């Protein structure tokens, strides 16, 4: 038998100064971490992992219009698939791929 929660999750995740419990919402942190990885890929960050992604999956294609390859690991698929979130962001529009 399922019961309703006594407190809303949004209320629990608020900072303590506004009477929340200051608990971190992991779904939000996960989205931000994925977008940070996508940003590193789009800016061609100088790391071995980013170079590997570009060499094997992106192959000089435009990241803004590129479809997610089907033969990639689920983590890479999730990162590249989240490009629409970054494109739709008003502050990041046009900066997703640096030539």
| pLDDT score recorded for residue 51 | 93
Going from the C-alpha of 65 to that of each of 1, 11, 38, the distances in angstroms are 47, 38, 14
| Distance, CA of 82 to chain centre | 6
> Which sequence spans correspond to the domains of the chain?
29-88
Local confidence band at 69 (pLDDT 50, 70, 90 cut-offs): confident
CA-closest candidate to residue 41, choices 79, 92, 89: 79
- When comparing pLDDT for 1 and 67, which is higher? 67
What gap in Å lies between CA 82 and CA 46, rounded to an integer?
21
Tell me if 86 sits within 8 A of 94, measured CB to CB.
no
Tell me if 61 sits within 8 A of 99, measured CB to CB.
no
Per-residue pLDDT tens for 15-67? 888 888 888 888 888 989 999 999 899 888 899 999 999 998 888 888 878 88
Answer whether residue 97 shows pLDDT above 80: no
Q: Which long-range contacts (CB under 8 A, 24 or more apart) does 86-89 make?
A: 86/35, 86/38, 86/39, 86/42
């Amino acid at each position: 038998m399922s019961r309703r929660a006594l407190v809303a999750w949004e209320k629990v995740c608020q900072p303590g100064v506004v009477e929340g419990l200051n608990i971190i919402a992991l779904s939000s942190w996960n989205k931000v971490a994925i977008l940070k990885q996508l940003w590193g890929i789009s800016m061609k960050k100088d790391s071995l992992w980013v170079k590997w992604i570009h060499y094997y999956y992106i192959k000089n294609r435009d990241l803004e219009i590129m479809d997610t390859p089907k033969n990639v690991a689920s983590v890479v698929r999730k990162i590249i698939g989240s490009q629409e979130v970054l494109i739709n962001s008003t502050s990041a529009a046009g900066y997703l791929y640096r030539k």
